[in-house]
Amino acid sequence: MGFSTDAIHAGQDPDPTTGAVTTPIFQTSTYVQQELGKHKGFEYARTQNPTRTALETCLATLERGERGFAFGSGMAAITNVTYLLRPGDHVVASNNMYGGTFRLFDQVVRHYGVTFTYVDTSDLEAVQAAWTKATKLLYVETPTNPSMIISDLRALATLARAKDAWLCVDNTFMTPYFQRPIELGAHLVVHSTTKYLNGHSDMVGGAIVSNDAVISERLQFLQNAAGAVPGPFDCWLVLRGLKTLSLRMERHDANARAIAAWLAKHPKLTKVYYPGLPDHPGHACHASQASGFGGMIAFDTGSIEAGARVLKATRLFALAESLGGVESLISHPATMTHASVPRAEREKAGLTDGLVRLSVGVEDIEDLRADLERALAAL
């Protein structure tokens, strides 16, 4: 089936009891069993829920994976990836990833005997140099949040598989509509379903899609044992969002391309980060592994003071955390999403105090451009 057809139908057959076209919200904590040891596939809602099963099936289909697993947040999903590791294992990770992921790795997971090396994963030689005999996981964002650095997923997957390690890709920015890392060789894909997959800024959730049967079996155990599962209503909200994902992503992409091209010519900006710009260093690589460029843009205003003036002056671009909703958002990574990353590490990855991040929504492009033009006049 095509992507849009799968997004609407995969895992979502009409309800056999009523014929309801939309998957019901199974708001229950437990299920009646017919007799000892005999049930209808559902025992307890932490372990299984029909609404969650529909979402997990749909996500696995869209990412072309073997199994999908839904969680209560994106960070809960990433935490369960780290549960696959053991004391003494080593992880090579993108040095420009979401600040919450860095905080989890640096301030939580490493205290359990797992070590981390952070490198520019767009540099294959740097990745190889960071590798040790204990490396078990290569954790990558592409494009990275927020500097939009692009990594070659095919090359990284080849490296990881040759060294008997796992490649895990955070695909939140691109979604499976534009980029499918499993088709490029990744073992695992993670998402904050809060973002584009839901698309309406009205829930928090996360997901893992696995393409390895052994990993899937372990993740099923971990999901139940650790219990960081989403409620059925949140699962239903993501299912609803997925039905329009292809339509929304096309509009996010079209708006962002137009905004980025306009910003790139703006005399008051020192740098614009968007993989859709032809002069972006990762443009060709990204185009070879994705079918679109997405709705995320970052630009450098030169200083925190200049950035603050822009953030204060926008009206349509709301100053807020998060991304991927139908409405446009603007944020300051150094003090918001990446505040937990040490300044030296931020600057090494190009994340300056003057950097501003845009989540370009699906509003009329003329209105978005006028809003930014008015805000940039404050520089």
Q: Which residues contact 247 (CB under 8 A, 6 or more apart)?
A: none
Catalytic-residue membership of 46 = yes
From the list 98, 118, 139, 273, the catalytic residue is 98
Rounded alpha-carbon distances, angstroms, from residue 222 to 76, 166, 225, 312, 368 = 11, 17, 5, 43, 43
Rounded alpha-carbon distances, angstroms, from residue 110 to 80, 90, 103, 174, 186 = 14, 10, 10, 28, 23
User: Using CA atoms, how far apart are residues 141 and 171, in angstroms rounded to an integer?
Assistant: 7
From the list 6, 89, 152, 170, the catalytic residue is 170
Give the other-Cβ count within 10 Å of 267's Cβ.
6
Catalytic-residue membership of 98 = yes
From the list 31, 46, 83, 374, the catalytic residue is 46
Q: 9-17: list long-range contacts, CB under 8 Å, 24+ apart.
A: 10/57, 10/58, 10/61, 10/62, 11/53, 11/54, 11/55, 11/56, 11/57, 11/58, 11/61, 12/54, 12/58, 12/239
From the list 52, 195, 248, 257, the catalytic residue is 195
Catalytic-residue membership of 195 = yes
Listing DSSP states for 307-347 in one string gives HHHHHHH-SSSEE-S---SSS-EEE-TTTTTTTTS-HHHHH
Catalytic-residue membership of 163 = no
| 341 CB burial (10 A radius; 0-12, 13-18, 19+) | buried
**Which residues are catalytic, by number?**
46, 98, 170, 195
